Structure 1
C-alpha cells in the first residue's frame, strides 16, 4: 500500500476513534443511555453510523426511524439484537436487529456480543458499542480495535495522578530552567545539564498528552482537569523550542520541529543518555556529559520584555552567541539600537541584572 494512503488511513481511524470517545463521554446523551444500561444490568449491541453497510450485514428487527433519546435507547436494549443509530446520534433506525458479520473476520474477542461488535467494526465504518451485562463493561470498537470506557470515578483517579505528576515535574523544570539561565550567563552549561532538562520537558509533555486523553474521556466532567493542564503547560512549548534552537547544530525553526519530534518519539528513559541527546541535536560522538555547550541566547533574550517577537533572532544573527551578546552589551549597548532594539539601555540593564552585574 502507498505510504501516503496508509498514513491517511491511520489518521482517519484515529479521528474516528476520537469521535467515538467524545460521543460516549460523560454529559453526552449516548453516555447517559449507556450508564442507564449498566445500572439496569443489561447487555447491549449498538451500531452508530455507516447505516447502509450496517443494515446490509443483518436482517429482521424493527424499523423505527424515531428521534434518539437516552430513555428510548435504554428501553430498546431490553430486547435482543442490535440497535442501529445514525451517525449524528439523532435517529434510532432499527431495534432488535440481527447482525451477521463474516465469521472469518479476525478478532481476539471471546464473548459472542464482543466478537460481533469487533467484526462489525471491521466490516463497516460504524462505531460499534458492546455492553456486557455480566462484567458491567462497555467496549467501543473502531476498525476492530476495542476501547474500554472507564467510569468517571476511575478517570478522576487517573486525572488526579497525572495532574500531581505534571505539577511536580513543572516545578522541577522551572527550577532547572532558572539554574540553566545562570549557567548560560556564566558560560558553563554542560551537555549533562541539557540532558536533564530535555528529559523533564518530555516527561511533562508526555503527562500532558495522557491527561488530554483523560480529559476527552471525561467530557463535561473534565473542565477542572483541562484548566490544570493549561496551567502546567503554560509557556512550555515556546521555552522547549527556543532551548532546542539554542543548542542544536541547526538552529532553524524547521530543524527544531524535527528534533522535537525525535525527542518525543524516544522513550523517556533513554533521554537520560547525554550521547543520545547530543546525537539528536546534531553533534557527533565527541560530545560527553561534561562537554561545555554554548547557547545562542534565544531563550534568555525572550525573557526580556523589550525584546519583541523576531528581535531575538536578529540579535543572535548579529552577535552569534549569548556570551558575545553580553560582551557587546558591556562594550557598546547603543549598538543594539542599530539593529532595531528600541530600548537598548533597558535590554542591557536586564541582562546585567540577570548576570548579577546590576547596580
Structure 2
C-alpha cells in the first residue's frame, strides 16, 4: 500500500470514530449542545507524554456522559486510541511553539500543533462556533452535521453511478476489440483512465459513508454493489496485458488529476509503449472470468494451453477436453460463453 493510501486509510478510520452513532460523536455533540469547548487526544506515545503537564489520571471507561462532564473543566482529555478508556483529564498541553500553525484560536492552534508534533489525531470543539474539528498531522478536517454530509454523499454516489456506466461502456468496447484482435494501447489507456476515476470516486464516497456511521447504511450497500462489480478488473487486465512484476493500478493511484487525463502519461505509467496505436494481444483471462463457475486455476491452464484469446476462440470442443480439469460440460460452457462474446462483438 502506498503512503498516500495509508494516510487516506488512517483518516477514514478516524472519521469513522467520529461518525454519527458512535459514543465519541455522541459525547462531542453533547459538548456542543452544552455550549462548552473541548480538546480530545486519541491515543498516546512518548512525545505526547513529554508535552503534558498537570491534570489528573482517571483510567475510566469512555462514555458520552463522562466526556461531557470532563469537558466542563479546563484542559485536554486524553483517551485511548480505540476510544474505550479515558486516561486523564484537565491536561495542559505545551506543544513546540515553533511548529507552523494557521489557526488563531488558542484551543485550535494547540490542537493543530499537538497533531503535527505527536502524529496523533486531535479533536477540538469550539465553544463559540459550536463546531467540531479533527486534526491529523496538523491538517484540519471539519466534522460536519450528518445532513450536510448526506447531501455530499448523495451527490458523490450519483456521480459514481454515471462514471460506472461509462466504465462499462468502454469495457464493452474493449471486449469487442479483443474478439476482433484490434486492441491498441490507446484502448487500454481509456479503460485505465475510467477505472481510476471510478476508484477515486469510490474512495471519496466511502469516506462520506464512514462519516455518516449508522445514517449511511443504505449508501454503504449501494457502494458495496458497485465495488463488487469492478474489484477484479485491474487484476484481470494485468493478467491479460501486463506481467507478474508490475502493478499498473497501484501506479495510477499516484498520478495527479491533471496527469490522469494525459493518455501518454497513463501509458508510460502502465508500462506500455508511448505510441498509442501499438497493437496488443490479450491472453484471455478477462473473457474467461465471465464463464460461469470457472476456477481461476483452470482459466490459467486454458491460457497456457492455447496461448492467447485468439487461440481460445479457435479451440474445438475436443481440444478443450484435453486440458486438465475441463470436462464435457465445462468445455461446452466455455465454448458457449466465447461464442456469445463473438456474436456480441459482431452486433456492435
What is the TM-score normalised by the length of structure 1? 0.82
Give CA deviations for 1:240-289 in whole Å, capped at 9, x if unaligned.
321233223x3x3x42xx2111122223553444433433343334x334
Aligned-residue offset at 1:233: 1.5
Residues 238, 94 of structure 1: CA spacing in aligned structure 2 closer, same or farther, 3 A cutoff? closer
Which residue of the other structure, out of 307, 318, 323, is the alignment partner of 1:339?
323
> Partners in 1 of 2:127 and 2:92 — Cα distance?
19
User: Does structure 1 retain, via aligned residues, the 8 Å contact 2:185–2:279?
Assistant: yes
> What residue is the counterpart of 1:103 in the other structure?
97
Gaps of 5+ in 2: none
User: Does structure 2 retain, via aligned residues, the 8 Å contact 1:215–1:222?
Assistant: yes
> What residue is the counterpart of 1:216 in the other structure?
210
> What residue is the counterpart of 1:283 in the other structure?
272
> Partners in 1 of 2:223 and 2:210 — Cα distance?
12
> Partners in 1 of 2:271 and 2:55 — Cα distance?
63
> Partners in 2 of 1:279 and 1:305 — Cα distance?
34
> Partners in 2 of 1:274 and 1:88 — Cα distance?
44
Residues 1:315 and 2:302 aligned together: yes
> What residue is the counterpart of 2:164 in the other structure?
170
Give CA deviations for 1:138-188 in whole Å, capped at 9, x if unaligned.
222344333322221222112111211221111222232223222221222
Residues 1:117 and 2:111 aligned together: yes
Deviates more, 1:135-144 or 1:49-58: 49-58
Residues 150, 282 of structure 1: CA spacing in aligned structure 2 closer, same or farther, 3 A cutoff? same
> Partners in 1 of 2:101 and 2:166 — Cα distance?
45
User: Does structure 1 retain, via aligned residues, the 8 Å contact 2:241–2:283?
Assistant: yes
User: Does structure 1 retain, via aligned residues, the 8 Å contact 2:52–2:92?
Assistant: yes
> Partners in 1 of 2:37 and 2:44 — Cα distance?
22
Query: How do residues 1-359 of structure 1 correspond to structure 2 at under 5 angstroms?
Result: 17-50=11-44, 54=48, 57-61=51-55, 66-124=60-118, 126-248=120-242, 250=243, 252=244, 254-255=245-246, 258-285=247-274, 287-289=275-277, 291-305=278-292, 307-327=294-314, 329=315, 332-340=316-324, 341-343=326-328, 344-356=331-343
Aligned-residue offset at 1:86: 4.3
Residues 270, 99 of structure 1: CA spacing in aligned structure 2 closer, same or farther, 3 A cutoff? closer
Instruction: Indicate the SS of the match to 1:195.
Output: helix
Residues 356, 24 of structure 1: CA spacing in aligned structure 2 closer, same or farther, 3 A cutoff? closer
Give CA deviations for 1:82-118 in whole Å, capped at 9, x if unaligned.
3343445344454444333342333232211112222
> Partners in 2 of 1:226 and 1:117 — Cα distance?
31
Give CA deviations for 1:209-249 in whole Å, capped at 9, x if unaligned.
1112222222222222211111112231212321233223x
User: Does structure 1 retain, via aligned residues, the 8 Å contact 2:291–2:333?
Assistant: no
Residues 59, 278 of structure 1: CA spacing in aligned structure 2 closer, same or farther, 3 A cutoff? closer
- Over aligned residues, Cα RMSD in angstroms? 3.1
> Partners in 2 of 1:125 and 1:294 — Cα distance?
48
Instruction: Indicate the SS of the match to 2:155.
Output: helix
User: Does structure 1 retain, via aligned residues, the 8 Å contact 2:134–2:140?
Assistant: yes
Paired residues in the alignment total 341
Deviates more, 1:205-214 or 1:261-270: 261-270
Residues 268, 320 of structure 1: CA spacing in aligned structure 2 closer, same or farther, 3 A cutoff? farther
Instruction: Indicate the SS of the match to 1:222.
Output: helix
User: Does structure 2 retain, via aligned residues, the 8 Å contact 1:16–1:142?
Assistant: no
Gaps of 5+ in 1: 1-6
Aligned-residue offset at 1:51: 8.0
